[in-house]
């Protein structure tokens, strides 16, 4: 078969071009490898420092992490000591213990705090205003407030109410002068007897028929009048004599004076 010269010439040129390109490619690959090797030698060897925190890769957002270790802490047992104080027993000295006694016993106090035993001489021989003084309806309050059975109000009771039948004789507890005779709108027929020794006796709620008048001088035990029912302020009580006594202006429990 006869060769075509044009074809053979072009073929020869094509083969030479291929090998030339292949050679150039090999040279370029070798040059790239050499460059990469040099760059690797130029990068310093970085070692982690002992005082720096190591880099920890972050967990991507949205990814569920299931291998988180649980934090454990030691169990502490706290024990509190409970201290129980012994009960304190309060002991009252024997000297401070008092026993209530009937008011008939001379242990009452004056309204200004003086005991009955401190009453000055001058009434040490006084007699009772009635023959029977055992039935006391309302005692002397000593300055304390008590409820009035008639008015319902709280007030001091500065005298003693002694029950007695209407018309019972009322006597002078000691000699003295009748300083006044009045018909008080609250206390009714009232007689005031001045004993001229600092003591004054006041009789309230008497009947209208009196045996004395203002200015009279009377002896101990003399009849001055009779029990009545004229004291409106104590009308809710049974018939009685309301008797008051003062010493130098201070109220005294009359029951501590009578013999």
Per-residue pLDDT reduced to its tens digit, 232-259: 999 999 999 999 999 999 999 999 998 6
Vertex 160, ends 156 and 165: CA angle to 5°?
135
Tokens 């972050």: give the residue.
Answer: 58
Give the torsion through C-alpha atoms of 39, 42, 48, 50, to 10 deg: 180
pTM beyond 0.85: the answer is no
Q: Which residues pair with 227 in a beta bridge?
A: 206
Q: What is the pLDDT of residues 13-32, one digit of tens each?
A: 455 555 656 666 666 766 66
- Which helix (H) or strand (E) segment is 20 a member of? helix 5-42
Vertex 131, ends 130 and 137: CA angle to 5°?
55
Distances (CA, A) of 239 to 122, 227, 235, 251: 30, 8, 8, 23
**Residue 81's pLDDT is what?**
45
Distances (CA, A) of 7 to 1, 11, 216: 14, 6, 187
- Which helix (H) or strand (E) segment is 34 a member of? helix 5-42
Say whether pLDDT at 68 is over 60.
no
Q: Looking at residue 148, what DSSP letter applies? A: -
**Residue 35's pLDDT is what?**
60
Contacts (Cβ under 8 Å, ≥6 apart) of 52: none
3-state class (DSSP) for residue 40? helix
**Residue 132's pLDDT is what?**
97
Joined together, the tokens standing for residue 218 give 């009377």
Do the Cβ atoms of 233 and 247 come closer than 8 Å? no
**Residue 29's pLDDT is what?**
67
- Could you tell me what percent of the chain has a pLDDT over 90? 51
């Amino acid at each position: 078969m006869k060769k075509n010269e044009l074809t053979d010439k072009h073929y020869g040129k094509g083969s030479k071009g291929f090998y030339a390109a292949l050679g150039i490619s090999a040279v370029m690959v070798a040059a790239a490898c050499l460059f990469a090797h040099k760059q690797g030698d130029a990068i310093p060897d970085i070692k982690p420092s002992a005082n720096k925190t190591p880099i920890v890769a972050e967990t991507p957002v949205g990814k569920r992490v299931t291998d988180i270790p649980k934090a454990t802490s030691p169990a502490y047992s706290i024990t509190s000591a409970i201290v129980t104080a012994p009960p304190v027993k309060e002991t009252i000295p024997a000297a401070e213990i008092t026993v209530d006694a009937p008011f008939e016993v001379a242990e009452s106090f004056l309204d200004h705090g003086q005991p009955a035993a401190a009453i000055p001489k001058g009434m040490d021989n006084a007699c009772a205003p009635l023959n029977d003084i055992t039935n006391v309806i309302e005692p002397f309050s000593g300055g304390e407030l008590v409820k009035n059975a008639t008015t319902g109000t709280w007030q001091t009771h500065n005298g003693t109410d002694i029950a007695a039948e209407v018309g019972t004789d009322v006597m002078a507890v000691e000699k003295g002068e009748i300083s006044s005779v009045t018909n008080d709108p609250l206390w009714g027929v009232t007689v005031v007897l001045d004993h001229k020794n600092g003591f004054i006796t006041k009789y309230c709620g008497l009947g209208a028929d009196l045996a004395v008048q203002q200015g009279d001088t009377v002896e101990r035990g003399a009849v001055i009048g009779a029990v009545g029912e004229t004291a409106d302020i104590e009308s809710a009580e049974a018939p009685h004599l309301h008797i008051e006594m003062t010493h130098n202006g201070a109220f005294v429990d009359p029951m501590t004076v009578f013999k």
